């Protein structure tokens, strides 16, 4: 259940009828969705919050015939007052396997400094080349224990989605805000990850 703002801007009924007419002429229908029920909120959680499903995905019979596996996902509302909508026309996705490399975003991890320092000190009696090899091996083990950034982002997004799918009156907006902050931090790490690889690609192309 959601509050309806009856004091909002005047509704142009003529434009609404015209739009509905075009939708019917094109044979379009709502494909439904998975995820949170609402795609827009005024985010006035401390006063009079308003939640609506304003955004929809429409298609016709021809589209469904060409893309029978189409799925529509309402993603969590995070950086805007609208929810992004993801449309998938395939039922399976393949993620590429990444080989081990030192990534600059590791330095943004809370436990990176202590991990690297401990590994370096533990090999104090070895030659320099042996110490660097030991450090690389330690970081490789440390890296394998980390979830991929994309997976971390998916997990956080799933938690936010679960909060937003709950009844409005029991949604934990404080936890939601903390999760959005974590999402932003991981997005910064992911941006650094791709920036590093973009520099390598440009270097090889010269």
State percent of the chain over pLDDT 70: 86
Average pLDDT over residues 29-55: 85
Asked if the model's pLDDT at residue 204 lies above 60, the reply is no
The predicted structure's pLDDT at residue 6: 41
The predicted structure's pLDDT at residue 2: 39
Computed over every residue of the chain, the mean pLDDT equals: 82
Torsion from C-alpha of 58, 61, 63, 66, nearest 10 degrees: 150
Average pLDDT over residues 32-60: 85
Torsion from C-alpha of 113, 119, 125, 128, nearest 10 degrees: -70
Q: Residue 186 CB: number of other CB atoms within 10 A?
A: 18
User: Do the beta carbons of residue 100 and residue 140 sit within 8 Å?
Assistant: yes
Nearest to 77 by CA among 54, 48, 110: 54
User: Do the beta carbons of residue 112 and residue 138 sit within 8 Å?
Assistant: no
The predicted structure's pLDDT at residue 176: 92
Asked if the model's pLDDT at residue 190 lies above 90, the reply is no
CA-to-CA distance for 204 and 206, rounded, in angstroms?
6
Higher pLDDT, 55 or 201: 55
Asked if the model's pLDDT at residue 94 lies above 80, the reply is no
Asked if the model's pLDDT at residue 118 lies above 90, the reply is yes
Kindly report the CA angle at 165 between 82 and 45, in degrees rounded to 5? 60
Q: Residue 43 CB: number of other CB atoms within 10 A?
A: 13
Start-to-end CA span in the chain (Å):
59
For 147, residues 6+ apart whose C-beta sits below 8 A from its C-beta are 155
Asked if the model's pLDDT at residue 1 lies above 60, the reply is no
The predicted structure's pLDDT at residue 128: 87
Average pLDDT over residues 174-189: 91
Domain extents in the chain: 1-94, 110-144
State percent of the chain over pLDDT 90: 21
Average pLDDT over residues 6-21: 75
User: Do the beta carbons of residue 30 and residue 56 sit within 8 Å?
Assistant: yes
The predicted structure's pLDDT at residue 177: 92
Q: Residue 179 CB: number of other CB atoms within 10 A?
A: 21
């Amino acid at each position: 259940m959601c509050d309806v703002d009856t004091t909002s801007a005047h509704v142009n009924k003529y434009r609404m009828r015209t739009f509905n007419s075009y939708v019917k002429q094109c044979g379009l229908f709502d494909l439904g969705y998975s995820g949170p029920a609402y795609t827009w909120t005024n985010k006035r959680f401390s006063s009079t919050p308003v939640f609506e499903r304003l955004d929809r995905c429409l298609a016709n019979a021809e589209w469904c015939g060409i893309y029978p596996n189409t799925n529509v996902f309402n993603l969590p509302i995070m950086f805007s007052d609208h929810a992004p909508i993801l449309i998938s026309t395939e039922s399976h996705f393949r993620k590429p396997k990444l080989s081990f490399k030192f990534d600059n975003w590791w330095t943004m991890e809370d436990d990176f400094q202590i991990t690297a320092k401990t590994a370096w000190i533990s090999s104090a009696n070895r030659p320099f080349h042996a110490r660097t090899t030991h450090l690389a091996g330690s970081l490789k083990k440390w890296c394998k224990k980390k979830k991929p950034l994309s997976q971390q982002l998916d997990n956080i997004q799933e938690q936010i989605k679960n909060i937003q799918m709950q009844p409005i009156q029991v949604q934990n907006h404080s936890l939601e805000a903390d999760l959005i902050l974590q999402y932003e931090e991981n997005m910064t790490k992911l941006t650094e990850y791709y920036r590093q690889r973009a520099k390598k690609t440009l270097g090889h192309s010269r």
